[in-house]
């Protein structure tokens, strides 16, 4: 079975490609570097020709509100009709838990991406994931003011990229669910506590301050803004295990 992974060179994309190739599938890791660009449309028709499944794991190079919205809207408008014309039988996309419950520019872009998928008529499964553990440093950096990192005490349940990729591969090989499925990490704790544990473990001297008013990429974080409200598939790798593996790899 031919499977195309758009963004197949990214953090989740490269891991998903490896899992699917190990399973013996013909996998195309598509990205601008390999001549497939969902923004210009270059190479899209050729890449999806003969594909049974397309997994969209691309991300916007810029996180600026307008750029993110434009990225996901343009990509959807180029990719989804090409898939429909090629007779693709399952479109899988990776989205984010809580994008309809917290208002920030990046989340608005992801909601627009989901809307285009649902309206496309393609058989689909949207996977909404919580934040990746690999994203903790970027979160700390974006919330830092000098040596102080202000983080909300709202609940947080980050997931390791390895667990995300395993779930994406499994979902892609199953029949389309025509709905949203949610995935999250095995541990749930206040956002500020997880970031503080992470910074301490990596010997980062910055101090984490619990701040209910602290924004996450511009959006307010209430107690349950960022965690699944209903049933979710849970990853196996918690923060301590992820740190142990990261240190072993370094």
Ligand X SMILES: NC(=O)c1ccc[n+]([C@@H]2O[C@H](COP(=O)([O-])OP(=O)(O)OC[C@H]3O[C@@H](n4cnc5c(N)ncnc54)[C@H](OP(=O)(O)O)[C@@H]3O)[C@@H](O)[C@H]2O)c1
Region binding ligand X by CB under 6 A among candidate stretches 129-137, 167-175, 199-207, 212-220: 129-137
The verdict on 135 binding ligand X (CB under 6 A) reads yes
CA 101-180-14 angle, to 5 degrees, is 100
Cβ at position 91, least distance to ligand X in Å: 13
Residue 184 CA to its chain's centroid (Å)? 11
The verdict on 167 binding ligand X (CB under 6 A) reads no
Which of 4, 7, 151, 194: binder of ligand X (CB under 6 A)? 7
The verdict on 131 binding ligand X (CB under 6 A) reads yes
Which of 4, 6, 136, 166: binder of ligand X (CB under 6 A)? 6
The verdict on 79 binding ligand X (CB under 6 A) reads no
Q: Kindly identify the residues of this chain, within the stretch 177-236, that bind ligand X according to CB under 6 A.
A: none
Query: H/E/C letters for each residue in the chain?
Result: CEEEEECCCCHHHHHHHHHHHHCCCEEEEECHHHCCCCCCCCCHHHHHCCCCEEEECCCCCCCCHHHHHHHHHHHHHHHHHHHHHHCCCEEEEEEECCCCCCCCHHHHHHHHHHHHHHHCCCCEEEEEECCEHHHHHHHHHHCEECCEEEECCCEECCECHHHHHHHHHHHHHCCCCCCEEEEECCCCEEHHHHHHHHHHHCCCCCEEEECCCCEECCEECCCCCCCCCCCCEECCCCHHHHHHHHHHHC
Region binding ligand X by CB under 6 A among candidate stretches 11-19, 174-182, 187-195, 215-223: 11-19
The verdict on 39 binding ligand X (CB under 6 A) reads yes
How many residues belong to the site for ligand X (CB under 6 A)? 25
Question: Tokens at residue 10, please?
Answer: 């990214």
**Identity of the residue, 61 or 87, whose beta carbon is nearer to ligand X in the bound complex:** 61
**Identity of the residue, 95 or 192, whose beta carbon is nearer to ligand X in the bound complex:** 95
Which of 102, 104, 125, 129: binder of ligand X (CB under 6 A)? 129
The verdict on 94 binding ligand X (CB under 6 A) reads yes
Which of 4, 10, 47, 151: binder of ligand X (CB under 6 A)? 10
Residues that bind ligand X (CB under 6 A): 6-7, 9-13, 31-33, 36-39, 57-59, 61, 94, 96, 110, 129, 131-132, 135
């Amino acid at each position: 079975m031919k499977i195309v992974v758009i963004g197949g060179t990214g953090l989740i994309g490269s891991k998903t490609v490896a899992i699917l190739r190990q399973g013996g599938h013909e996998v195309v890791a598509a990205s601008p570097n390999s001549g497939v660009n969902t923004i210009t449309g270059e190479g899209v028709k050729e890449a999806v020709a003969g594909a049974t499944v397309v997994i969209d794991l691309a991300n916007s190079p810029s996180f600026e509100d307008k750029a993110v919205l434009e990225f996901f809207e343009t990509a959807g408008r180029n990719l989804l009709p090409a898939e429909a014309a090629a007779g693709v039988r399952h479109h899988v996309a990776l989205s984010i838990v809580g994008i309809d419950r917290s208002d920030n520019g990046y989340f608005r872009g992801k909601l627009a991406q989901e809307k285009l998928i649902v309206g496309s008529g393609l058989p689909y499964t949207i996977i909404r994931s919580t934040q990746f553990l690999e994203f903790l440093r970027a979160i700390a950096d974006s919330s830092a003011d000098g040596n102080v990192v202000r983080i909300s005490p709202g609940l947080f349940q980050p997931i390791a990229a390895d667990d995300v990729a395993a779930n994406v591969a499994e979902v892609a090989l199953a029949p389309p669910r025509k709905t949203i499925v949610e995935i999250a990490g095995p541990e749930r704790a206040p956002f500020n506590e997880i970031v503080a544990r992470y910074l301490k473990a990596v010997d980062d001297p910055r101090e984490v301050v619990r701040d209910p008013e602290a924004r996450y990429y511009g959006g307010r974080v209430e107690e349950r803004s960022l965690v699944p409200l209903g049933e979710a598939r849970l990853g196996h790798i918690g923060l301590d295990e992820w740190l142990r593996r990261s240190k072993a790899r370094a």
